[in-house]
């Protein structure tokens, strides 16, 4: 008999035991290891995919940021350029204004200087004219001319206005009747007496005149009493003329100043 049933049973048992043993020691661990590895690989692949996605996203983000930055930069540059243009215009405007102002000031200064110069020249001329006149007159001065002048003084004294006479009388009263008559040369006694009489005629109280010579005077006669003074002399005349001329000039200057300021204001 080829088949031994005892052996068949034993082999079936053996086979089933082997199936169990191999399942326990071979298939299960091997499949488990493979599964784990596949799981790991899949996880890694997924992770890699996720990272790739992330990287792509980040790249996109960076590109966007770059773009934004570029745009911003451009806008800022434009702004800055605009600002610079404005500033430049402003500065130019300011510089022009300043230049205008400076020019105006300069013109004014020049004008003033010119005026000053003119005035100075005028003053100098006037002074020179008076100096020449004085020199000429002092050269011409003499005793006989003095007498003429004394007579002119007398005439002036006699022809003095009521107001003047009153003031002189008051001054004489204050000086207790003492009056000083000054002249460049010694006056003749007849003329001195005449002057004494004329002065006495002005005041009620007795007046005593003292006659002096003052060499610094060009020519003429002068009466001082208290704080009052009445005279007729070339010096006096010239001084009066000068004063008058000064007044006239100052008035004219004032007028000019007014017209210039008016014209400045209008322009």
Partner 1 sequence: MINPDEQILWEYGFFKLNLTIATTWGLMLVLVLVSWLITRRLSAGLEISRWQSVLEIVVLGIRDQIKEVGIPNARVYLPFLGTLFILIAFAGLCEIIPEYVPPTSSLSTTAALALCVFLAVPAYGIAESGLGGYLKTYLQPTFFMLPFNIISEISRTIALAIRLFGNMASGVMIASILLSIAPFLFPVIMEVLGLLASMVQAYIFAILAAVFIAAGVREGEKNKKDNDKKQNDG
Give the residues lining the site for partner 1 (CB under 8 A). 2-12, 14-23, 25-27, 29-34, 36-37, 40-41
Residue 91 is encoded by which pair of tokens?
């500065």
- Please report how close the Cβ of residue 46 comes to partner 1 at its closest, in angstroms: 16
Alpha carbon 204 to its chain centroid, in Å, reads: 66
What span, in angstroms and rounded, lies between the C-alpha atoms of 189 and 46? 149
| 41 versus 125: smaller Cβ distance to partner 1 | 41
Nearer to partner 1, 30 or 109 (CB): 30
> Smallest distance from the beta carbon of 57 to partner 1, in angstroms?
28
The CA distance from 160 to 231, in Å, is: 11
Minimum CB distance to partner 1 smaller for 42 or for 103: 42
Handedness of CA 75, 77, 79, 85 (dihedral sign): negative
- From the CB of 52, what's the least distance to partner 1, in Å? 20
**Residue 234: HSE in the Cβ half-sphere, 13 Å Cα cutoff:** 21
Distance of CA 32 to the CA centre of its chain: 99
Q: Nearer to partner 1 by C-beta: 49 or 246?
A: 49
Q: Least Å distance between CB 45 and partner 1?
A: 12
If 0-12 CB within 10 Å is exposed, 13-18 middle and 19+ buried, where does residue 199 land? buried
Instruction: Give the separation between CA 253 and CA 119, rounded to whole angstroms.
Output: 9
Considering the complex, what minimum distance in angstroms separates the CB of residue 31 from partner 1? 7
What letter would DSSP give residue 267?
A: -
**Strand spans (E) along the chain:** 178-183, 208-213, 220-225, 228-233
Which C-beta is closer to partner 1: that of 17 or that of 77?
17
Provide, rounded to whole angstroms, the least separation between the CB of residue 78 and partner 1.
57
Minimum CB separation from partner 1 for residue 51, in Å?
A: 18
Separation CA 154–CA 204 (nearest Å) = 18
If the CB atoms of residues 8 and 248 are measured against partner 1, the closer one turns out to be 8
Judged by beta carbon, residue 16 or residue 121, the one nearer partner 1 is 16
Give the nearest distance from C-beta 50 to partner 1 in angstroms.
19
C-alpha neighbours within 13 Å on the C-beta side of residue 210 = 9
Of 23 and 96, CB closest to partner 1: 23
What does the buried/exposed string (b/e) look like for 117-129 if buried means 16 or more CB atoms within 10 Å of the residue's CB?
eeeeeeeeeeeee
- CA–CA separation, 1 and 3 (whole Å): 6
């Amino acid at each position: 008999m080829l088949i031994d049933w005892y052996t068949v049973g034993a082999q079936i048992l053996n086979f089933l035991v082997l199936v169990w043993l191999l399942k326990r020691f071979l298939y299960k661990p091997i499949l488990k290891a493979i599964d784990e590895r596949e799981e790991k690989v899949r996880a890694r692949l997924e992770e890699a995919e996720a990272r790739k996605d992330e990287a792509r996203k980040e790249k996109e983000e960076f590109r966007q940021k770059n773009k934004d930055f570029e745009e911003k930069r451009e806008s800022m540059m434009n702004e800055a350029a605009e600002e610079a243009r404005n500033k430049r215009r402003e500065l130019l405007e300011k510089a022009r204004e300043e230049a205008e102002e400076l020019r105006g000031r300069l013109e004014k200064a020049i004008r003033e200087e010119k005026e000053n110069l003119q005035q100075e020249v005028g003053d100098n001329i006037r002074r020179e004219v008076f100096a020449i006149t004085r020199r000429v007159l002092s050269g011409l001065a003499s005793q006989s001319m003095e007498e003429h002048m004394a007579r002119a003084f007398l005439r002036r004294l006699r022809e003095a206005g009521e107001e003047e006479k009153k003031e002189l009388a008051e001054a004489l009263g204050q000086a207790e009747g003492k009056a000083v008559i000054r002249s460049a040369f010694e006056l003749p006694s007849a003329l001195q007496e005449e002057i004494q009489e004329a002065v006495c005629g002005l005041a009620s109280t007795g007046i005593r005149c003292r006659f002096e010579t003052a060499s610094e005077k060009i020519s003429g006669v002068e009466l001082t009493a208290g704080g009052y003074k009445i005279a007729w002399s070339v010096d006096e005349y010239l001084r009066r003329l000068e004063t008058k001329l000064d007044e006239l000039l100052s008035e004219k200057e004032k007028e000019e100043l007014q017209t210039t300021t008016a014209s400045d204001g209008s322009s």
